Amino acid sequence: MPARRRGLDDLDLRVLRLVADRPRSGLLEIARLLGVARGTVQARLDRMAADGVITDYGPNLSPAALGYPVQAFTTLEVEQAAREHISRTLESIPELLEACIVTGPGDVWCRVAGRDNEHVQRVIDRMLTIPGVRRSTTVIALSTVVPHRVLPLAAADR
């Protein structure tokens, strides 16, 4: 859902930072730390959720801690007419962390996790059996320099 408004004010950003830094804190604790009423924090969170700024409150899971320490980025070249079927089939692969339709030499960019390089190879082989997938190009991630993040982007829009 696209945001209905552009930008966040200082209090919005402070609320988001605290929720990100202390995800297990309750509204009362966040309000106390910010020096505002609990209802103010609740209203801000509700508005940002309704506007599509906040998309999830779930825990962030570590693939490595779950036994999948190897991550790879695979670009699939696909038959355009089969994209919808390919997208639905990709959703059934649990090791697939993310997939995006992209521009450039490939068509679908996938981030996958595996127990080891051989497991990643089996995941890629499974993707290559999907009707309409022509070929793949894969790179293995050696380390994460900057993890997925959005909060700095929200603060930069000020």
| Closest to 137 measured CA to CA, from 106, 113, 115, 116 | 106
User: What pLDDT was estimated at residue 2?
Assistant: 47
pLDDT in tens, 78-94: 999 999 999 999 999 99
Among candidate residues 144, 153, 85, 65, the one with its CA nearest the CA of residue 111:
144
Burial class for 143, CB neighbours closer than 10 Å (0-12, 13-18, 19+):
exposed
Average pLDDT for residues 4-27, to the nearest whole number?
87
Q: 51-65, 83-97, 125-139: lowest mean pLDDT where? A: 51-65
- Over the chain, what is the mean pLDDT? 92
Average pLDDT value for residue range 5-26: 89
Do 96 and 48 touch, CB atoms closer than 8 A? no
Model pLDDT, residue 6 = 60
Residue type, 111: R
Quickly list H helices, the chain: 10-21, 27-34, 38-50, 83-90, 117-128, 151-156
Alpha-carbon distance 62 to 49, whole Å? 24
User: If pLDDT is split at 50, 70 and 90, which confidence band does 149 have?
Assistant: confident
User: What pLDDT sits at residue 60?
Assistant: 86
> Between 19 and 58, where is the model more confident?
19
Return d(Cα 68, Cα 76) in angstroms, integer: 21
Does residue 3 register a pLDDT over 60? Answer: no
Model pTM score = 0.82
